[in-house]
Amino acid sequence: MQERMITENGTQIDIWMRAWMDIVTMEKAGINAFNKKKCQRELRKNLEIFGLADGKAPDDTLKDAWRSFTADYMRSCMESRMFRGFVFGIGKVKDEVLAKLMLDEIVLVTKTIPEKLGLGTFAAPLHEVMVEAFAERVENGEAFVKKSMFKL
């Protein structure tokens, strides 16, 4: 597992959040037959930043780090205008809608994209921990996750 925080040009950077955003951006840019191999390499590299390794089960320390990242990710989303705003930033998204958007992105990054690129098994431990950590932080989290996952 790489250190989560690094310093570049005097600025603290969360490389886990950068890897997360790289994966989201990859999906937004589009994954197709022409770039699938490149996307697989990039996804594997980004998932390895989270400490994932072939055939190696994550230890409790790594799982705790993933839980901490999930909390930080959720906090970031709650403070983000992109997640919170709608209609050109005029109104606010209801908390349940915000929770659904966060869960959808967690599933996208840790399950949907990896499965699309043949890395679903590789990413599965991260998916399980992040969904569980998400459920712990949302009111009636387990029921919310079950209901939302059923709709996917």
Among the listed residues 111, 101, 84, 92, the one whose alpha carbon sits nearest the alpha carbon of residue 138: 101
Average pLDDT value for the chain: 88
What CA–CA distance (Å, rounded) separates 52 from 50? 6
DSSP conformation letters of 48-80: HHTT-BTTB---HHHHHHHHHHHHHHHHHHHH-
pLDDT digits (tens, 9 = 90+) for 55-79: 889 999 999 999 999 999 999 988 8
What CA–CA distance (Å, rounded) separates 146 from 122? 23
CA distances 101 to 67, 105, 114, Å, are 18, 6, 19
